[in-house]
Amino acid sequence: MTAIGNSAQARDIAYHVHGYTNLKAHEEKGPLVINRGAGIRVFDDSGKSYIEGLSGLWCVSLGFGEQRLVDAATEAMGRLAYYHGFNHRSADVVIDLAEKLVSIAPGRLSKVLFANSGSEATDLAVKLIWYYHNAIGKPEKKKIISRIRGYHGVTVASASLTGLPHLHGDFDLPIDRILHTTSPHYYREGRDGESEEEFATRCAEDLEKLILDEGPDTVAAMFCEPVMGAGGVIVPPKTYYEKIQKVLKKYDVLLVADEVINGFGRTGNMWGTETFDLDPDFLSCAKQLSSAYLPISALLISDKVYQAMVSESEKLGVFGHGSTYGGHPVSAAVALETLKIYEERDIVGHVRSVMGHFGDRIQKLGEHPLVGNARSCGLMGALELMKDKATKTPFEASDKVGPAAETRCLENGLIVRAIGDNLAFCPPLITTDAEIDEIFDIAEKSLDETEAWVNEQGLRG
């Protein structure tokens, strides 16, 4: 594409700052401009069609152009375009959504606080973790554990919890009181001869050592994505959550389940928490809550935490948190309609009916000479590209093999995301078996082309 004259590309370069983008390269390259979507496909400004193999950003669960969500937003906008939840106010649709979320929530979760993004929900959880421990008379118990390669957002606290160096560099992050423990990435972190269960035991031992080294009276909570999404679609090893939850309970450390990517059917259950038998004190959700049609997120909290919040707000005179758009009635209406569609169309059942085929196709690509590891859970997965499969030797970051494969997928009509040298797949939950075949046929062709390029460039030495 060429950014010339008054084109959309040229105007984008002139006025728009992009996240997760090399800003200097963007000035030369410009954007791919998408201006229409239908089903699992989007179309650029030249009319070219692409399968959206990452659901936008892990979020457009019902695909593009779902008329019921358009109608829900239109009706809600006309009826009550805005209201807030401050000072004992509420909107009926927000009450309906809160009630619905609690009714489908796993475990001990009983109350809902609304925000606008997954990052905000993470920040809110951090605030409440600190607030809770002040309320119960444990003001020193404030450190929070996340995991290397974990992803929890981009705001100051949430980016600190995110265990990816490019979110910290020159932002002066992470902030104080944030800790990181071993990534549960068995393929990359497992030792020679170590089984998945043995690796899970070592992860739990690493966690316990971290807590003991810091002092159990200072460690408040741990954040976990059931399946780690933006860190590379890392599926936990067998027995992992069973073992780490024992450690957390032993030292009275709260568990926060980050379901921003996992929630609402992505793993083959309504919640990733159910897929991996987690018992969280908090659960954050966003993205597929509204099929990304409007911004909304929610933090679900246990009654234990809520009762401490009530006591502390009584003591202080007010619960000193709120946001202008948290629980926006139009976003809430779209989210409520999204949840109705999930139930009426049995979206979780549909995911279960196609995820076996999705898993088979992605595992078959694990045999490709460029792929070291193929993994999936439900309707999300990744291909990890390797310089030498036998020795698990990665390419150099400067080789940019993952981005090269992503570019070839794009040229062939498939949008995926390169996370380093991991190609991530997360198609809309409505994707059919036939569309899964289209996705992986294009991916295989693109891998073949990337393999040829790797050999031409002499990147294997």
> Cβ distance 143 to 177 under 8 Å?
yes
One domain for residues 375 and 335: no
Domain of 152: which CATH number?
Answer: 3.40.640.10
> Is 193 domain-assigned?
yes
> Cβ distance 77 to 293 under 8 Å?
no
- Residue 352 CB contacts under 8 Å (≥ 6 apart), including other chains: 268
Q: What is the pLDDT of residue 62?
A: 98
- Nearest of 185, 191, 198, 203 to residue 245 by alpha carbon: 203
One domain for residues 357 and 212: no
Say how many C-beta atoms besides its own lie within 10 A of residue 230's C-beta. Answer: 24
List, for the chain, all residue ranges whose pLDDT scores fall below the cut of 70. 1-5
- Residue 110 CB contacts under 8 Å (≥ 6 apart), including other chains: 102, 300, 301, 302, 303, 306
3-state secondary structure (DSSP) of residue 228:
strand
One domain for residues 204 and 131: yes
One domain for residues 132 and 272: yes
- Domain count for the chain, please give it: 2
> Rounded distance, CA 349 to CA 213, Å?
45
Q: Which domain holds residue 386?
A: 32-65+346-457
Q: What is the pLDDT of residue 431?
A: 98
One domain for residues 235 and 319: yes
> Is 19 domain-assigned?
no
Give, rounded to a whole angstrom, the gap between the first and last alpha carbons of the chain: 33
3-state secondary structure (DSSP) of residue 382:
strand
Cis peptide upstream of residue 31 (ω within 30 degrees of 0): no
> Is 8 domain-assigned?
no
One domain for residues 279 and 354: no
> Rounded distance, CA 307 to CA 305, Å?
6
One domain for residues 147 and 172: yes
Q: Is the dihedral of CA 2, 7, 8, 12 positive or negative?
A: positive
Backbone torsion region of residue 58, taken as left when φ is above 0, otherwise alpha when ψ lies between -120 and 50, otherwise beta: left
- Residue 252 CB contacts under 8 Å (≥ 6 apart), including other chains: 216
One domain for residues 207 and 329: yes
Q: Which residues pair with 418 in a beta bridge?
A: 423
Q: Which of 344, 374, 400 is the last residue of a domain?
A: 344
> Is 400 domain-assigned?
yes
One domain for residues 350 and 452: yes
> Is 4 domain-assigned?
no
> Rounded distance, CA 337 to CA 290, Å?
8
Domain of 384: which CATH number?
Answer: 3.90.1150.10
> Rounded distance, CA 342 to CA 137, Å?
42
Q: Which of 317, 344, 371 is the last residue of a domain?
A: 344
> Is 73 domain-assigned?
yes
> Is 203 domain-assigned?
yes
> Cβ distance 283 to 54 under 8 Å?
no
One domain for residues 112 and 149: yes
Which tens digits make up the pLDDT trace of 147-158?
A: 999 999 999 999
Sheet holding 371-377, edge to edge: 371-377, 380-385, 422-425, 417-419
One domain for residues 297 and 434: no
> Is 89 domain-assigned?
yes
3-state secondary structure (DSSP) of residue 159:
helix
One domain for residues 358 and 270: no
Q: Which of 323, 344, 365 is the last residue of a domain?
A: 344
3-state secondary structure (DSSP) of residue 36:
strand
Q: What is the pLDDT of residue 215?
A: 98
Q: What is the pLDDT of residue 4?
A: 57
Complete DSSP assignment for 331-369: HHHHHHHHHHHHHHTTHHHHHHHHHHHHHHHHHHHTTST
